[in-house]
Structure 1
Amino acid sequence: MRSMWQFLGALIAASSLGLAQASSSTLETEEDVATALKSYGVNTAAINTLRSAGNKSTEVACQTACSSLSHLYGSQVLSPDTTAYNNFTGAFWSVQQEEVQPRCIFKPSKNTEVSAVVLVSRLTQCPFAAKSGGHAAFAGASSSPGGITIWFTDMNEVTLNADKSVASIGPGNVWGMVYEALAPYGLAVIGGRASSIGVGGFTTGGGISFYSNLYGWAIDNVESYEVVTASGHIVTATENKYSDLYWGLRGGGNNLGLVTKFNLYTVPSPLMYGDTRVFLETEFDPVINAFVNIVHDAPNDGNAQYYIAFLSTGGVNIASAELTYVKNVSNPPIYQQIKSIPAVSDNSTARTLVQYAEYIDSDNPYGLREVYWPISAYLNEEFAKWTVDYFFSVLPQVANVTGAQPVLVYQAVSEPMLKNMTKYGGNALGLEASKGPVHLMHISFWWDNASDDDTVYNWVGSFWDTVLAKAKDMGIYNEWIYMNYASQFQNVIAGYGAENKARLQKIAAKYDPQGVWQTLQPGYFKLTHAPVVTSP
């Protein structure tokens, strides 16, 4: 019988030589895994070695998996109590993610190594998670407690095809890196508005861009995905090949595979113009009226992208409007109304895309406890004003939370965005242009101490319960939840509607009949439940 190391080495070779040339077949059971491995000349009796004499505890499974990966890949595996490991866990955006301690961290450099780690996880039953940028706000989203965390950092290529119409982007990139790589060509892709956000989760969850009123969201501008399936196969999913998988990856999150390359359509990227205007509470009503009018005017000028943040700072209630224009035009007509409202400050300037993404990133500090929590409703000015008034009326309830900074953010899924969601066979989000613009609102809240976690979660949850009840009373409630902003208590996939949820589950059953992504990769938003199934 081969040793465990010989077995795993043969497995890696098999994944490199055979699984990359995959059909749509799957490995449905352990016996199927063994049969497939035998076809590669692997002595599958060595699987028993991985079972550690019948001990199937997660601790033993992950010790076996991490030791195996370390033997095979050496310095690509980071172990606890090392400087490299501690630098990794300390570099997440939210403290909740920093607190997660994986058994090991694996840094693949190519797609076959991603295939290998998935198969090692299956053989040992050690859970895993995958980190692109790590910008989620809750524990376990992209780091596996006691398991394997796959860190894509070394898969950070950015290349262009011959006619520069498609950029191939590795999941180890953050958007600032992508924009810097494409800037010399005068190009961009539909990506994040903050430079440190990762390509992976952003693109599989939706992806609002500065360019979204022109071209749609990131998921609507993917030419193809290179993806590792649960069986370890490496396939390229397009509108015409593995089209069901392609559709499901457009909003399905991490439920269908690990994407090892995003091939995104490029767009021109000229100098932009941005204007951050800050308003006092006396101007809230006209600011909201202007916001609603800008949303309705989006079909007439797709160069505009905007959001408004409502918050209290220094005892003063303010609204901060971020008005972006993807041409170097300082006063476009679409912003005329909101720019005529008296502001206490105005930070308007021309910027490159790289500069603008860095500027937005500065408003998202690292090293704090964080929660994002969104809802949606059909756009209605009366409801928008009521929600702002209610938000400020309940802020005193969290005044004693140390370091508390709750912010209510207004954005819209405009008519042009909704129409772009029908491109290339559509996406999984379940939004329809015929129903009109959707008001996407979310709470962004940071604070200092873990002892206040329950207070914050209960406050935000209670706030949205009241707001959702108001939306239902007004007949404007929308069940859709934006994955990229969702809290750990929200069942995102259910918000896509029963038909789309069932379609995603059917695709998952085809490509992952054993539920690898649902059980061995338990973090983030699953097909049937929220990351945390108990409400705060």
Structure 2
Amino acid sequence: MARLRKTCRAIALASIFSSTLALDACTRIQQAVSSASNVYYPVDLVGNYTQDIAHWASSSTQLSACSVEPGTAADVSIILQLLASTNTSFAVKGGGHTANPGFSSTTGVHLSMARFSGVSYDASRATVTIGSGLVWDDVYEALEPYGVNVVGGRASGVGVAGFTLGGGYSWKTNQFGLTVDTITAFELVKPNGSIVSVTASSEPDLFFGLKGGLNNFGIVTEFTLQTFPQGQVWGGLLTYAANEIPAVSAAVARFAANVTDPKAGIVSSYKFILGELHNADPRFQSHFKIYASQPLVAPILFYDGPSPPAGIFDDFLAIPHLSEDVRTRSLLSLVQSASSNASSGATRRAFHTASLLEYSPTMIDAIFNETIFWGTQLALAGLISMSYDIEPFLPSIYTHSTSPSAFPPRDANPPGYLPLNLHFAWTPSTSDDLMHAALRQSAAHLTQVAMNEGQAIVDAPLYTNYALYDTALERIYGPNLPRLRRIKKEVDPGNVMGLAGGFKF
């Protein structure tokens, strides 16, 4: 008992010491930065602090000693050097959409990149420079008057920074690759405080590392991306009751196997809902409530043009459905119809993933069965909803760029791995470990189903932005990992970025 008391006292003292160091760092930052930046504390009555630390998933939010909103790259440099010199833990938040706890939150110094909110379109170069504090909605809205767009996020409220630094699967990926394949430059504040523009020619190793290497190499303040012509698109959300799931599953399998038009895409979500689905479109909320505690399937259809050729989506539209929001619209309108950020901060959440080579009928049935199994198993543990998101792409998606990237790792003839997103939402923090364990078991089971079918996925890279927090780096970066660790040592020999959360090399 005496030993236990000593241990508890040591932990408490360490916590107090750490908190004191963080508060001291906050004060020093406040004194050092320019008027373009601000520091806020938990006693902030205006709400800046609360807004800065808030995340889409409540389980990703921590109470920091202070929040800092840097307004210039020069101030980011000052802040990073002060954090390094005081060995203070910190976090960097872009849009705040990560579901991994501690990846963009901290009890130390919290950096919100909200003031990096510029969108600058260069028509002569067909590029756009985007601030790292934006969400994709902002970018699409800013570019709409120019008739161009970028390879960006598919759901409302998703931040530019984390999405891009993790790879970036998009509605336009079939045509142009992942978001990292379209980057031409990063404005980066290195761990030593230097501010650089990183391109394929200026620093090829670092450029490679930043394309999918997350926050290991410093703090990105701006991204420059290629732009592509953009007119109206066609698509939107359909929802179907449980009795129509076999027909929808057959339509999904046919689409995945047969549709080769690179402008066409779907994300088909198999859902099991036990409580109020906070992020459902209000127009469809009544349907979700009526069918609570039953499985549903909700595909989002997409065509990069005002109308799709006949035959591509006819199967889906012919099946009786609960609701339909499919029409010709802007890309911004379509993205905002998938309003994943509407329930920001309301529930605890986690993602996990498997990487597949095909969505066969057997694979789709297994995915649907997982929603029934885990929805039933976790009902008494506070589960609100779960979603298994099927995302078929063309097998050529990794071939759009000859420039190597941290993620995805590619060989001379790379297969186009298909991400499967597992998403659980629940209420009590006491269920965190149980939910995470269930996600691991479910992803492992579905991987085994695919392997039993003959899919060669034993070494398939797992998508960074879906992988659960404790996923082994080898499973994400594969043969790229030794090179990434070498670059990390060269760029950050003092492991400054190790003071922040995330997957670390």
1:484 aligns with 2:465: yes
* Structure 2: distance between partners of 1:80 and 1:198: 24
Q: After the TM superposition, which of the residue ranges 259-268 and 285-294 deviates more from structure 2? A: 285-294
* Structure 1: distance between partners of 2:244 and 2:338: 24
- Of 91, 95, 115, 2:54 maps to 91
Q: CA deviation at 1:364?
A: 5.2
Q: CA deviation at 1:90?
A: 6.3
Match of 1:104 in 2: 66
Match of 1:213 in 2: 174
2:158·2:341 contact (CA, 8 Å) conserved in 1?
A: no
Q: CA deviation at 1:188?
A: 1.3
* Structure 2: distance between partners of 1:218 and 1:389: 32
- Of 159, 163, 171, 2:120 maps to 159
Match of 1:133 in 2: 95
Compare the two structures and name the one with the higher helix fraction: 1
Helix, strand or coil at the partner of 1:327: coil
**TM-score scaled to structure 2, two decimals?**
0.86
1:195·1:361 contact (CA, 8 Å) conserved in 2?
A: yes
Q: CA deviation at 1:126?
A: 0.6
The one-letter code matched in structure 2 to 1:102 is S
Match of 1:372 in 2: 351
Q: CA deviation at 1:237?
A: 1.3
Q: CA deviation at 1:101?
A: 1.2
Helix, strand or coil at the partner of 1:333: coil
1:418·1:433 contact (CA, 8 Å) conserved in 2?
A: no
Q: CA deviation at 1:453?
A: 2.1
1:500 aligns with 2:460: no
- Of 368, 386, 393, 1:406 maps to 386
1:93·1:136 contact (CA, 8 Å) conserved in 2?
A: yes
Q: CA deviation at 1:111?
A: 0.8
Q: CA deviation at 1:331?
A: 5.3
1:468 aligns with 2:447: yes
1:192 aligns with 2:170: no
1:451 aligns with 2:434: no
- Of 403, 407, 415, 1:428 maps to 407
1:350 aligns with 2:328: yes
Q: After the TM superposition, which of the residue ranges 337-346 and 310-319 deviates more from structure 2? A: 337-346
* Structure 2: distance between partners of 1:233 and 1:79: 28
- Of 12, 29, 46, 1:69 maps to 29
Q: 1:432 to 1:386 in 2, by over 3 A?
A: farther
* Structure 1: distance between partners of 2:206 and 2:40: 32
Helix, strand or coil at the partner of 2:145: helix
Q: CA deviation at 1:162?
A: 4.8
* Structure 2: distance between partners of 1:112 and 1:359: 38
Match of 1:82 in 2: 44
Q: CA deviation at 1:242?
A: 0.3
* Structure 1: distance between partners of 2:454 and 2:340: 38
1:237 aligns with 2:198: yes
2:167·2:407 contact (CA, 8 Å) conserved in 1?
A: no
Q: 1:288 to 1:435 in 2, by over 3 A?
A: farther
1:255·1:508 contact (CA, 8 Å) conserved in 2?
A: yes
* Structure 2: distance between partners of 1:229 and 1:342: 55
* Structure 1: distance between partners of 2:326 and 2:413: 35
* Structure 2: distance between partners of 1:466 and 1:202: 27
2:78·2:193 contact (CA, 8 Å) conserved in 1?
A: yes
* Structure 2: distance between partners of 1:403 and 1:394: 10
Match of 1:359 in 2: 337
* Structure 1: distance between partners of 2:182 and 2:392: 19
Deviations 1:275-317 (A, max 9, x none): 323334444444334334433445x311112111112342432
Q: CA deviation at 1:335?
A: 2.3
- Of 149, 174, 177, 2:110 maps to 149
Q: After the TM superposition, which of the residue ranges 100-109 and 328-337 deviates more from structure 2? A: 328-337
The one-letter code matched in structure 2 to 1:290 is A
**TM-score scaled to structure 1, two decimals?**
0.81
Match of 1:533 in 2: none
The one-letter code matched in structure 1 to 2:377 is Q
Deviations 1:464-508 (A, max 9, x none): 2333333344442344211112222323x3123542011111111
Matches within 5 A, 1:244-393: 244-297=205-258, 300-312=260-272, 313-329=291-307, 332-361=310-339, 365-366=343-344, 367-381=346-360, 382-393=362-373
Q: CA deviation at 1:386?
A: 2.4
Q: CA deviation at 1:259?
A: 0.8
* Structure 1: distance between partners of 2:53 and 2:89: 21
Q: CA deviation at 1:341?
A: 4.0
Helix, strand or coil at the partner of 1:415: coil
Q: CA deviation at 1:372?
A: 1.2
2:166·2:407 contact (CA, 8 Å) conserved in 1?
A: no
* Structure 2: distance between partners of 1:156 and 1:219: 20
Helix, strand or coil at the partner of 1:428: coil
* Structure 2: distance between partners of 1:163 and 1:213: 25
Q: CA deviation at 1:403?
A: 5.3
Q: 1:291 to 1:432 in 2, by over 3 A?
A: farther
Q: After the TM superposition, which of the residue ranges 206-215 and 430-439 deviates more from structure 2? A: 430-439
Q: Which runs of 5+ in 1 are unaligned?
A: 1-55, 528-536
Deviations 1:210-243 (A, max 9, x none): 2111111111110111111111111111121101
The one-letter code matched in structure 2 to 1:150 is L
Q: After the TM superposition, which of the residue ranges 64-73 and 447-456 deviates more from structure 2? A: 447-456
Match of 1:440 in 2: 419
Q: 1:63 to 1:278 in 2, by over 3 A?
A: closer
Identity across matched positions, percent: 25
2:265·2:393 contact (CA, 8 Å) conserved in 1?
A: no
2:32·2:78 contact (CA, 8 Å) conserved in 1?
A: no
* Structure 1: distance between partners of 2:414 and 2:143: 36
* Structure 2: distance between partners of 1:376 and 1:137: 19
The one-letter code matched in structure 2 to 1:480 is P
1:412·1:437 contact (CA, 8 Å) conserved in 2?
A: no
The one-letter code matched in structure 2 to 1:142 is S
Q: Which runs of 5+ in 2 are unaligned?
A: 1-15, 273-290
Q: After the TM superposition, which of the residue ranges 127-136 and 67-76 deviates more from structure 2? A: 67-76
* Structure 1: distance between partners of 2:412 and 2:389: 22
The one-letter code matched in structure 2 to 1:200 is A
Helix, strand or coil at the partner of 1:355: helix
* Structure 2: distance between partners of 1:218 and 1:63: 37
* Structure 2: distance between partners of 1:526 and 1:425: 20
Aligned residue-pair number: 465
Deviations 1:317-366 (A, max 9, x none): 22111111121105543323444444443321122122222211257522
Match of 1:12 in 2: none
* Consecutive aligned runs of 4 or more in structure 1 exceeding 6 Å deviation: none
Computed over aligned residues only, the root mean square deviation of the Cα atoms, in angstroms, reads 2.4
The one-letter code matched in structure 2 to 1:96 is S
